[in-house]
Structure 1
Amino acid sequence: MITLDLRIQYDDERTAKAIFDSIAPDNEGYITTELKGCLLVMKIASSSAGTLRNTADDLMACIKAAEEASGLVSGPAPDLDCDTFFE
Protein backbone atom coordinates (compact mmCIF):
# COMPACT_ATOMS: atom_id res chain seq x y z
CA MET A 1 0.00 0.00 0.00
CA ILE A 2 1.29 3.47 -0.95
CA THR A 3 0.25 6.48 1.11
CA LEU A 4 0.48 10.23 0.67
CA ASP A 5 -0.09 12.76 3.44
CA LEU A 6 -1.00 16.33 2.51
CA ARG A 7 -1.29 19.28 4.88
CA ILE A 8 -2.58 22.72 3.98
CA GLN A 9 -2.45 25.60 6.48
CA TYR A 10 -5.02 28.39 6.12
CA ASP A 11 -5.05 31.81 7.75
CA ASP A 12 -8.08 31.07 9.89
CA GLU A 13 -10.34 28.23 11.03
CA ARG A 14 -13.36 29.57 9.15
CA THR A 15 -11.55 29.34 5.81
CA ALA A 16 -10.14 25.91 6.60
CA LYS A 17 -13.62 24.65 7.51
CA ALA A 18 -15.11 26.09 4.31
CA ILE A 19 -12.54 24.24 2.19
CA PHE A 20 -12.95 21.07 4.30
CA ASP A 21 -16.74 21.16 3.84
CA SER A 22 -16.37 21.81 0.11
CA ILE A 23 -14.16 18.81 -0.61
CA ALA A 24 -15.65 16.30 1.86
CA PRO A 25 -18.40 14.90 -0.44
CA ASP A 26 -15.88 14.09 -3.19
CA ASN A 27 -13.46 12.32 -0.89
CA GLU A 28 -15.64 9.75 0.83
CA GLY A 29 -14.04 6.33 0.56
CA TYR A 30 -10.88 7.55 -1.15
CA ILE A 31 -9.28 10.10 1.14
CA THR A 32 -9.23 10.54 4.91
CA THR A 33 -9.58 14.23 5.74
CA GLU A 34 -9.27 15.88 9.14
CA LEU A 35 -9.66 19.47 10.20
CA LYS A 36 -7.32 20.56 12.99
CA GLY A 37 -7.99 24.23 13.58
CA CYS A 38 -6.51 26.08 10.58
CA LEU A 39 -4.86 22.93 9.24
CA LEU A 40 -6.42 20.61 6.70
CA VAL A 41 -4.84 17.12 6.93
CA MET A 42 -5.48 14.60 4.16
CA LYS A 43 -4.27 11.04 3.70
CA ILE A 44 -4.55 9.10 0.47
CA ALA A 45 -3.85 5.35 0.27
CA SER A 46 -3.68 3.24 -2.86
CA SER A 47 -2.28 -0.02 -4.13
CA SER A 48 -0.63 1.65 -7.15
CA ALA A 49 1.34 4.82 -7.76
CA GLY A 50 -0.80 5.72 -10.78
CA THR A 51 -4.04 5.56 -8.84
CA LEU A 52 -2.47 7.53 -6.00
CA ARG A 53 -1.36 10.26 -8.39
CA ASN A 54 -4.78 10.43 -10.08
CA THR A 55 -6.50 10.71 -6.71
CA ALA A 56 -4.07 13.42 -5.57
CA ASP A 57 -4.57 15.35 -8.84
CA ASP A 58 -8.36 15.21 -8.41
CA LEU A 59 -8.06 16.31 -4.79
CA MET A 60 -5.86 19.29 -5.65
CA ALA A 61 -8.26 20.32 -8.44
CA CYS A 62 -11.16 20.24 -5.97
CA ILE A 63 -9.19 22.26 -3.42
CA LYS A 64 -8.25 24.81 -6.09
CA ALA A 65 -11.90 25.16 -7.15
CA ALA A 66 -12.99 25.59 -3.52
CA GLU A 67 -10.30 28.21 -2.90
CA GLU A 68 -11.23 30.12 -6.06
CA ALA A 69 -14.92 30.01 -5.14
CA SER A 70 -14.17 31.34 -1.66
CA GLY A 71 -12.00 34.16 -3.01
CA LEU A 72 -8.75 32.81 -1.55
CA VAL A 73 -7.04 32.67 -4.92
CA SER A 74 -7.10 35.23 -7.68
CA GLY A 75 -5.67 34.66 -11.11
CA PRO A 76 -4.28 31.43 -12.47
CA ALA A 77 -2.44 29.03 -10.20
CA PRO A 78 1.31 28.68 -10.78
CA ASP A 79 2.38 25.78 -12.98
CA LEU A 80 4.45 23.98 -10.35
CA ASP A 81 5.06 20.85 -12.44
CA CYS A 82 5.85 22.86 -15.61
CA ASP A 83 3.45 20.89 -17.79
CA THR A 84 1.19 23.69 -19.05
CA PHE A 85 2.56 23.27 -22.55
CA PHE A 86 1.34 19.66 -22.59
CA GLU A 87 -2.18 20.27 -21.28
Structure 2
Amino acid sequence: MSTDPGAVSPRCQQQLLELSAYLEGDLGPEQMAALDAHLATCECCGRMAASLRRAIALCRSEEVRDLPPAIQADALARVRALLQGEG
Protein backbone atom coordinates (compact mmCIF):
# COMPACT_ATOMS: atom_id res chain seq x y z
CA MET A 1 0.00 0.00 0.00
CA SER A 2 1.41 3.36 -1.00
CA THR A 3 1.66 6.28 1.40
CA ASP A 4 1.27 8.72 -1.49
CA PRO A 5 -2.36 9.95 -1.42
CA GLY A 6 -2.22 10.57 -5.18
CA ALA A 7 -0.99 7.06 -5.98
CA VAL A 8 -3.26 4.77 -7.95
CA SER A 9 -2.99 1.01 -7.70
CA PRO A 10 -2.02 -0.90 -10.85
CA ARG A 11 -5.51 -2.44 -10.95
CA CYS A 12 -7.13 0.99 -10.78
CA GLN A 13 -4.77 2.33 -13.45
CA GLN A 14 -6.02 -0.30 -15.90
CA GLN A 15 -9.65 0.36 -14.98
CA LEU A 16 -9.21 4.11 -15.41
CA LEU A 17 -7.65 3.59 -18.85
CA GLU A 18 -10.85 1.84 -19.90
CA LEU A 19 -13.22 4.31 -18.23
CA SER A 20 -13.99 6.43 -21.29
CA ALA A 21 -14.74 3.38 -23.43
CA TYR A 22 -16.88 2.03 -20.57
CA LEU A 23 -18.95 5.21 -20.37
CA GLU A 24 -19.40 5.23 -24.15
CA GLY A 25 -20.48 1.57 -24.13
CA ASP A 26 -17.52 0.55 -26.28
CA LEU A 27 -16.34 -2.38 -24.15
CA GLY A 28 -17.32 -6.00 -24.53
CA PRO A 29 -19.79 -7.55 -22.06
CA GLU A 30 -17.08 -9.16 -19.92
CA GLN A 31 -15.06 -5.93 -19.70
CA MET A 32 -18.22 -3.95 -18.88
CA ALA A 33 -19.14 -6.39 -16.10
CA ALA A 34 -15.62 -6.31 -14.66
CA LEU A 35 -15.56 -2.52 -14.64
CA ASP A 36 -19.09 -2.39 -13.16
CA ALA A 37 -17.90 -4.60 -10.32
CA HIS A 38 -14.77 -2.51 -9.76
CA LEU A 39 -16.68 0.78 -9.74
CA ALA A 40 -19.15 -0.66 -7.23
CA THR A 41 -16.36 -1.42 -4.76
CA CYS A 42 -13.71 1.25 -5.43
CA GLU A 43 -14.67 4.66 -4.09
CA CYS A 44 -11.87 6.48 -5.93
CA CYS A 45 -12.69 5.03 -9.34
CA GLY A 46 -16.41 5.48 -8.69
CA ARG A 47 -15.81 9.20 -8.10
CA MET A 48 -13.73 9.42 -11.27
CA ALA A 49 -16.48 7.72 -13.27
CA ALA A 50 -19.13 10.06 -11.86
CA SER A 51 -16.98 13.09 -12.62
CA LEU A 52 -16.32 11.96 -16.18
CA ARG A 53 -20.05 11.23 -16.69
CA ARG A 54 -20.86 14.80 -15.60
CA ALA A 55 -18.18 16.25 -17.89
CA ILE A 56 -19.44 14.24 -20.87
CA ALA A 57 -23.04 15.28 -20.19
CA LEU A 58 -21.99 18.92 -19.91
CA CYS A 59 -20.06 18.78 -23.18
CA ARG A 60 -23.01 17.21 -24.96
CA SER A 61 -25.50 19.72 -23.57
CA GLU A 62 -23.68 22.89 -24.54
CA GLU A 63 -23.98 24.41 -27.95
CA VAL A 64 -20.78 25.11 -29.83
CA ARG A 65 -19.95 28.79 -29.96
CA ASP A 66 -17.23 30.67 -31.78
CA LEU A 67 -14.79 32.60 -29.65
CA PRO A 68 -14.58 36.33 -30.22
CA PRO A 69 -11.73 37.16 -32.64
CA ALA A 70 -9.71 38.96 -29.94
CA ILE A 71 -9.77 35.89 -27.69
CA GLN A 72 -8.88 33.62 -30.61
CA ALA A 73 -5.90 35.82 -31.49
CA ASP A 74 -4.73 35.96 -27.86
CA ALA A 75 -4.99 32.19 -27.44
CA LEU A 76 -3.13 31.56 -30.69
CA ALA A 77 -0.38 34.00 -29.69
CA ARG A 78 0.03 32.27 -26.31
CA VAL A 79 0.23 28.83 -27.89
CA ARG A 80 2.81 30.05 -30.40
CA ALA A 81 4.87 31.63 -27.61
CA LEU A 82 4.78 28.39 -25.63
CA LEU A 83 5.82 26.36 -28.66
CA GLN A 84 8.67 28.72 -29.51
CA GLY A 85 9.87 28.62 -25.92
CA GLU A 86 9.99 24.80 -26.00
CA GLY A 87 11.56 24.52 -29.44
Alignment TM-score > 0.5, same fold:
no
Select the structure that is richer in strand: 1
Of structures 1 and 2, the one scoring higher in RCO (CA 8 A, sep 6+) is 1
Q: Which has the larger radius of gyration?
A: 2
Please, what TM-score do these two structures have when normalized by structure 1? 0.30
